[in-house]
Each structure stands twice: as C-alpha cells, then as structure tokens.
Amino acid sequence: MLAAFEGWNDACQSATNVIRHLLGRYEAREIRHISCDGYYDYQVSRPMLCRVTGRPRIIWPQTTFYEIALAPDLRIYAQLAPEPNYRWREYCRQSLHIADEFDVDRIVTLGSMYADCPHTRPLPIDVSHDLDECGRSCDCGANDGEDGYSGPVGIPTVLDDMAREQSFDTTSMWVSIPQYTGNDDCAPATLALLRRLGEEIGFDFDEGDLPSLADAWKAKASMLLRCSDQLADYVHHLEREWDRAEAARKAASADPTQAERLVREAEDFLKGL
C-alpha cells in the first residue's frame, strides 16, 4: 500500500501527485475512508467549497483509500490524505487496520522536501527499507550517516514505525527539490519518485505526460538563472558539490574499502586536533 500526505511532508505536492497520477492513468476505485472528525484542525486543513451541478457543497478533509489495477494480475492500494493534526497514533492504527483488512504486507510511504540541490542534476531520492537499527526512519530526505537522522518527523515516519511494530514490511521514499524553484508542482520530482517506485515493485509505470511536464519545469527553472547572476552562481556551486559527491560515490563503489579508509583518516585527523 502506498501512502502520501499533503502538507509538511509534500513539498510541491510531488509525493501526493504520484498517487494522483496513478489514479488518472489506471483503473481505480475508492474502497475505504477515514472520517475527518477528531483528526483535523479546520483552520489549518480548511474545508473547501465547490459547486456540483451549480449547487454549493462543502468538501471536508478526509483520508481516502484506493484500489488501483496496474494489470489484470497486479493490484496495489493507496492512501491519500492531508496530514492529520491530532491523534496520530489512533489515525495510524485505523490506517493499518484497513491495510490488514486487504491483506497488505508492505507499506510504502512517499514524501518530498526542499533541499540544497541543483535542478540541472537528477533530483536526489532517499529510500530506506524498514527502520534503521536505532528504530528511526529518515524523514528528512538526508542520507543516513553514522548516527542517522534526529529531529522532527511527520506522519509517514510514525506510520512506518507503527507498521513495523505490527510486522508489516516498510519502505520510505523521499525526493529532494531545489528550494529556489518555488512551490509549484514539480513534475521531475513526481517522475523520479514514480520511476524509483517502479524499480522497487518491479513494474514499468505509464508515465503519461510527466516527462514533457518535467522538461517544461526544468526550462522554467533555467530561466530563473538567466534573470539573476547571484542565483546562477549559487546553482553552479550546488552543481560542483553534486558532481564531487557523485564522483566520491563512484570511487567508493569501485573500491568499497576506500570509503572506510577515508572515514578512518578523518577520525584520526580529528583526534589529533
């Protein structure tokens, strides 16, 4: 079951747009809901007014579960909702009860965050399977270091944690988005998550118009650089950092002991200070 939540965990709506994309490209049906009562602060997650056949109607924030038919013999489930404001433990218990009802054995949470990364390079994707040995999942999109991530978390991490306690397999997937590009929908981030999700479950998703939307988004971001020398210098700095990190990753992959040597050398240097 996929799970994505609007709000703090969903920069540029990139995570929730993965599920919306699947709902638009494949046969899908609503199978369950979680009532909004008791979970939302309506001054934060406000009800929406819409008109159906000319008549006004209030749409309250709610959680919807979908069944999505990817192929005749392959179906997945998806949970889409604004991040709740209250009673997270009870909310997650309800979510996992519904997952268990449909014999789900794996929970995949999706998230997106702003970060210092250039739009001219592949957007970073962080994937963690289950939680780390300290019982934490990376909820910030940062690579796990020796000590892992410590800090505020969102509902995806809480859902991961409680799912693991109930013997579900869990996977957390986060994409990083350049913070200088604004908060409009980021098609490259949605596309990156979709492709990585396909790798995780062994399925080639219909990408629809996401590639062309991603190209348009990159072209718009590049236009920003032509309008600001300061921003261009900043992005060039990010590119150099990205290229250096990529070169280091390739070197470490070619020689796995090299990374350990670098860590030991750095530790010896710090001890000598």
Q: How far apart are CA 82 and CA 97, in angstroms?
A: 19
The per-residue pLDDT for range 145-198, each reduced to its tens digit, is: 344 667 889 999 999 999 999 999 999 999 999 999 999 999 999 999 999 999
**Do 129 and 170 touch, CB atoms closer than 8 A?**
yes
Residues 189 and 248 in one domain: no
Residue 120 CA to residue 180 CA, distance in Å, equals 13
Residues 151 and 237 in one domain: no
Domain boundary among the residues 155, 173, 208 is at 208
Question: CB of 121 within 8 A of CB of 239?
Answer: yes
Give 170 or 130, the one with higher predicted confidence.
Answer: 170
The answer on 187 and 147 residing in a single domain is yes
One domain, residues 29 and 149: yes
- Write the CB contacts of 45 (distance below 8 Å, at least 6 apart in sequence): 7, 61, 82, 85
How many domains does the chain contain in total? 2
Q: Residue 10 belongs to what domain range? A: 2-208
Do both 112 and 58 map to the same domain? yes
CA distance 213 to 217: 6
Cα angle at 238 between 233 and 242, to 5 degrees?
150
Q: Are residues 197 and 70 in the same domain?
A: yes
Say yes or no: 22 and 120 in one domain: yes
Query: Model pTM?
Result: 0.84
Task: Please tell me the predicted confidence (pLDDT) of residue 52.
Answer: 76
Of 153, 181, 159, nearest to 238 by C-alpha is 181
Residues 64, 27 share a domain: yes
For 116-120, 219-223, 261-265, which range has the lowest pLDDT when averaged over its residues? 261-265
Residue 220 is assigned to a structural domain of this protein: no
